[in-house]
Amino acid sequence: MTSNGSSATSSGTFAIGGDLVVNRMGYGAMRITGEGVWGEPPDRDAAKDVLRRAVELDVNLIDTADSYGPDVSERLIGEALEPGADGLVVATKGGLTRSGPGQWAANGHPEHLREACEGSLARLGVERIDLYQLHSPDSDVPFEESVGTLAELRSEGKVRHVGLSNVSTGELATAQEIVPIVSVQNRYSITDRAAEDVLEACDELAIGFLPWFPLAAGSATRPGGLLDRVADAHGATQAQIALAWLLARSPVMLPIPGTSSVEHLEENIAAAEIELSDEELAELDAVAAA
């Protein structure tokens, strides 16, 4: 199995691939597009303000994808920030196509992934993408072919590191035989732990885990429920507690909550300062089993 070179520290940072040191609370740039993750945002300047404010708050991991808009999120990042600047890691993804608001389709064909990567390079204004992730396996394309294309892009210097999204432990192991995998992005939250086995594999291999849809839902969030009570004890919101729990759950966890609001962004980032007690963590850990 190929080593990925990633490492975590106790200082609230994680070294993706061993050389991209990021603060563990990142920002997901899906919400700076139009409704349904389609088209331009209502206010382009406001979207850019959110991106710039994230960097001001020491967020140095920005996650996006060519399918967000499509192309819109990457273009805004390229205009508002300096993706090639030292210390700012922009991770993007290829492998999903769009036909309208809320509509997504996998395309893992090698020729599409190459075109997608070239488009991302141009929109971000960089010669090499820090972290390029396969957005989803495509059932119509052998998984090894899709991953092999990302391995080729890495060998050609267009991609620094390779990541995966929406994969199983088996797919992660298969990909690791082809190219070093430094991150996995799967759906995961305090109330949705279907990807627990994938997180455990990432923990064991010191691979970054980027949970998408990281905020809690369901009965645990009801008024007077556990999240509500813990939030009250910390003078925080339920969303902040859900994010604080994620950070405490594993040193490889890299939450990337998304928002189109500066106020909400500041609230999310502040969650990194919340220290949950052992008793609170034990109670919150039991939420999924309840």
pTM: 0.94
Indicate whether 95 pLDDT > 60: yes
For residue 1, the model assigns a pLDDT of: 39
Catalytic residue among 27, 68, 132, 188: 68
Report the pLDDT value the prediction gives residue 224, as an integer from 0 to 100: 87
User: pLDDT averaged over the chain?
Assistant: 94
pLDDT confidence tier of residue 221, bands split at 50, 70 and 90: confident
Q: Is the pLDDT of residue 163 over 70?
A: yes
Q: Please tell me which residue, 24 or 11, carries the higher pLDDT value.
A: 24
- Is residue 188 part of the annotated active site? The answer reads no
Q: Kindly list the structural domains of the chain, giving each domain's residue range(s) and its CATH number in brackets, ordered by start.
A: 7-217+251-261 (3.20.20.100)
3: pLDDT strictly greater than 60:
no
Is residue 218 predicted with pLDDT exceeding 90? no
Q: How confident is the model at residue 5 (pLDDT cuts 50, 70, 90)?
A: low
- Whether the per-residue pLDDT at 129 is higher than 80: the answer is yes
Q: Work out the average pLDDT over 43-62.
A: 97
pLDDT grade, residue 85 (50/70/90)?
confident
Say whether pLDDT at 131 is over 80. Answer: yes
- Which pLDDT score, from 0 to 100, does residue 56 have? 96
Q: How many Cα atoms are found within 13 Å in the side-chain-facing hemisphere of 281? A: 12
Give per-residue pLDDT as tens, 145-160: 999 999 999 999 999 9
Q: Is the pLDDT of residue 9 over 80?
A: no
pLDDT in tens, 236-287: 999 999 999 999 999 999 999 999 999 999 999 999 999 999 999 999 998 8
| Per-residue pLDDT, 220 | 74
